[in-house]
Structure 1
Amino acid sequence: MNAPGLSPGQWLAALKRKWMLYHLGDPRFSFMWDAPPENEWVALDCETTGLNVRTDDIIAIGAVRIRGNRIMTSERLELLVRPEKRRLSADSVRVHRLREQDVAQGLNADDAMMQLMRFIGSRPLVGYYLEFDLAMINRVLFPMLGMGLPQPRIEVSALYYDHKFRQLPQHAQHSGAVDLRFDVLMKDLGLPLWPAHDALNDAVMAALAFLKLRALK
């Protein structure tokens, strides 16, 4: 039976929150299930030693808060993370320009997650192909919390796809062909494209795209 004054959806959400908090491995982070601040988000990006979510490691995290239609660059998080499983290959160094000596003095993964969770709070997450970043983050978090990040997530490439799909003539919509490459997306939206594979740069660019697409919608 639903609690008085709650819709079925609200009642299920409250029940899920109660269940998650009961099983939370570290009660210090129960604030992640609080109601989020109104019109606030966190744009997030990770750099990694590779693309295998089971064997590669996070080496950098960039995040920035969004409030209303503003990117709060004064409220940002930049972390270097010391890899625990994999050494940096020559290919990965060419991609993100971080060397072994750059990350050797970084935080261990657990400490980085502690800072990240406090920075995010309960704000929804924004990113470009965010699923990969969250898979890498959640692999570290599961031993700590017994679960991954609970915040809602907003995928910039999905917002862009919906935006472009609405512009297609009806006869072309069956193919659904939309180029989702990040440089194409940013250029099409008239947004600056900064050097890629820098975690904070990528987070800020994802935030710019999110705000532009939100305004266009």
Structure 2
Amino acid sequence: MRLLDRHMTLLSGSLRTLLQRESDRRRWADSPYAWLFQPYMGEESVAMACQVSEGQPAVISVAAVVLTPRRVHTSRMWWATLSVSPALVPATLRRHHQLHATDAPRTPDAECLTELADFIGNRPLVGWQLEHTLEPLNGLFKSVLGFGLPNAQVDVAKLHGRQLRRLHPHIDTLDPLGVALARWQLPPLIWPSVVSEATASALLYLRLQREIALTA
């Protein structure tokens, strides 16, 4: 029962989102991607961060890092800068490479996105303002593979806001990630890369889980 309760708390989003996940699960039941739609019963999660350039065609830098209830595993990470047409946006690509320390840009084709999907698996996703973070990435998944990421999700920004109001009911503010890290006495973002954002989101999530357990 404790395991079931823990995983039920991870489910977020509207009823429409949950129904869409169930529809996708049935649709892809006989495909190589079927396992991605199955419930995850382990203890790992994947923290995600994503930054998108302005203008078209968009350049997207993505990072995903594995975490367990006690630590963030920075040695288990996937990150890349994705561009549909690298030759058309060289200046933007250079900026993304400098900011996010990724390797040569990759084309978000079926091979690339399948590699990312295999890395994430069916583990729950955590991240700062996660719905907004995943929107451009889900767009790529839907256009190339035919489905968005079906994983259970935890928005760390909402978790932070709820716990902060629980401790300080008079506070009515929407903190940026840097302020939230400071509030919970975590290291600041030293460099605005997707890797640092994903890692910071993971650390904040673990800290909030401990705080919630202490005040429950």
TM-score of the aligned structures, taking structure 2 as reference length? 0.76
Letter in 2 for 1:211: L
Match of 1:159 in 2: 159
Q: Which amino acid aligns with 1:113?
A: L
CA distance in 2, matches of 1:15, 1:140: 21
What TM-score, normalized to structure 1?
A: 0.76
User: Looking at CA atoms only, which structure, 1 or 2, has the larger radius of gyration?
Assistant: 1
- Alignment RMSD: 3.3
CA offsets, 1:20-51, max 9 Å, x none? 2342399221111123142211001112213x
Q: Mark the runs of 5 or more structure 2 residues left unpaired by the alignment.
A: 1-7, 9-14
Q: Distance in 2 between matches of 1:69 and 1:193?
A: 20
**Count of matched residue pairs:** 195
Q: Please tell me whether residue 180 in structure 1 is matched to residue 179 in structure 2.
A: no
Instruction: Look up the match of 1:115.
Output: 115
Contact 1:24 1:146 survives alignment (8 Å): no
- Aligned match for 1:87, one of 78, 82, 89: 89
Q: Could you tell me which residue of structure 1 aligns to residue 23 of structure 2?
A: 19
- The 3 A distance-change label for structure 1 pair 139 and 46 is same
Any unmatched runs of 5+ in structure 1?
1-8
Give distance in 2, aligned partners of 1:34 and 1:216.
30
Matching residue of 1:193: 188
Residue 15 to residue 130, structure 1, CA distance change in 2 (3 Å): closer
Deviation (angstroms), 1:87: 2.5
SS in 2 for 1:81: strand
Aligned match of 1:150: 150
- Residue aligning to 1:3: none
1:45-101 per-position Cα deviation (integer Å, ceiling 9, x unaligned):
112213x7xx552432111111222111121112232343873667x93x87359xx
User: Residues 167, 24 of structure 1: CA spacing in aligned structure 2 closer, same or farther, 3 A cutoff?
Assistant: same
